[in-house]
């Protein structure tokens, strides 16, 4: 049998497969198709300090090889999450990560401080959100801004802190180095690529918000390249994501340098996607006589 456990800082996950934020809700809808205790971890829906209804529809559109979304962080707010959703998630028997997506430095700090007093296992800080106090520039688009917000959040929580990076930058390695320097325990990448879908007949964008985040198999080569770039630049673990649809994809991300992976869009196609990826990765490792799944990390041999 293959040892599927992986270590991300102080957290030991039973396997490297994590349900990505925004595609798994809080696990309630997925419970009927999955034994959720078998997952490595679940990342919550992206949370804001106050409840949000999200963007006006249409806010999801299929594209060639991918999915474009502009849901707009619809969520019940942090207070409701702590009171209602977190106790449910903690009953599932797996590692629970709260994804926070504040729209200001103060909002991210306040959420981290409140979550520090809960029994959530870790925090994933989403830096793809616009910082309203900085002209709506995404937190993750500037290394100094990343250092500022990660340092401020780090000062308010002892929880394991993962920093989710946007790919919409010039150098993803530079952004990862900034997160590491500021005290991140791991980085997760990549978040969605900014995209546009057009309805030729109406001559309007398909999404009401005009642009949205592209995910799915179409972005996998970009994601693999960025994981590899970051792996060669930092020492903290990487959680890789971006178009992972099966176990083969998951192994490829580990070869590029990921310690664990997140499955996102695949959950919207098949509600058993995470479980299927775990099973497939285990079978591959067994066929290749790998005693531990973690042995795959960083084995990529460039020409």
Our CA angle for 297, 140, 213, nearest 5°, is 85
CA distance 172 to 201: 37
**Torsions phi, psi of 43, nearest 5?**
-95, 130
Q: What is the DSSP letter of 5?
A: -
- For 263, the enclosing helix (H) or strand (E) is strand 260-263
- Is 274 labeled as catalytic in the residue annotation? no
The DSSP call for residue 85 is I
Give me 9's structure tokens. Answer: 């800082």
- Cα torsion 256, 257, 261, 262 to 10°: value is -80
Sign of CA dihedral 35, 47, 110, 13: positive
Choice among 43, 129, 136, 274 that is catalytic: 129
Taking 3-state DSSP, the helix, strand and coil percentages for the chain, each rounded to the nearest 5, stand at 35, 25, 45
In 3-state terms, what secondary structure has residue 194? Answer: strand
Q: Which residues are catalytic?
A: 129
């Amino acid at each position: 049998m293959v040892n599927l456990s992986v270590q991300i800082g102080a957290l030991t996950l039973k396997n490297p497969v994590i349900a990505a934020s925004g595609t798994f809700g809080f696990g309630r809808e997925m419970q009927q198709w999955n034994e959720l205790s078998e997952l490595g971890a679940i990342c919550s829906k992206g949370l804001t300090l106050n409840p949000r209804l999200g963007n006006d529809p249409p806010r999801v559109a299929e594209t060639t090889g991918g999915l474009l979304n502009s849901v707009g962080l619809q969520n019940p707010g942090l207070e409701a999450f702590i009171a209602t959703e977190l106790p449910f998630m903690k009953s599932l028997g797996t590692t629970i990560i709260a994804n926070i997506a504040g729209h200001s430095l103060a909002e991210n700090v306040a959420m981290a401080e409140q979550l520090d007093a809960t029994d959530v296992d870790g925090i994933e800080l989403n830096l793809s959100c616009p910082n309203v106090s900085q002209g709506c520039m995404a937190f993750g688009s500037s290394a100094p801004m990343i250092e500022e917000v990660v340092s401020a959040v780090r000062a308010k929580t002892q929880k394991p802190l993962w920093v989710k990076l946007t790919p919409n930058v010039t150098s993803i390695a530079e952004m990862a180095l900034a997160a590491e320097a500021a005290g991140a325990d791991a980085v997760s990448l990549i978040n969605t690529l900014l995209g546009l879908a057009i309805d030729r007949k109406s001559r309007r964008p398909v999404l009401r918000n005009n642009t949205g985040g592209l995910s799915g198999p179409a972005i996998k080569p970009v994601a693999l390249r960025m994981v590899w770039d970051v792996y060669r630049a930092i020492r903290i673990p990487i959680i890789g994501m971006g178009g992972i649809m099966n176990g083969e994809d998951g192994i490829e991300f580990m070869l590029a340098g990921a310690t664990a992976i997140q499955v996102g869009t695949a959950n919207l196609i098949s509600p058993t996607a995470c479980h299927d990826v775990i099973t497939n990765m285990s079978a591959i490792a067994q066929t290749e006589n790998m005693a531990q799944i973690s042995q795959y990390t960083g084995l990529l041999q460039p020409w």
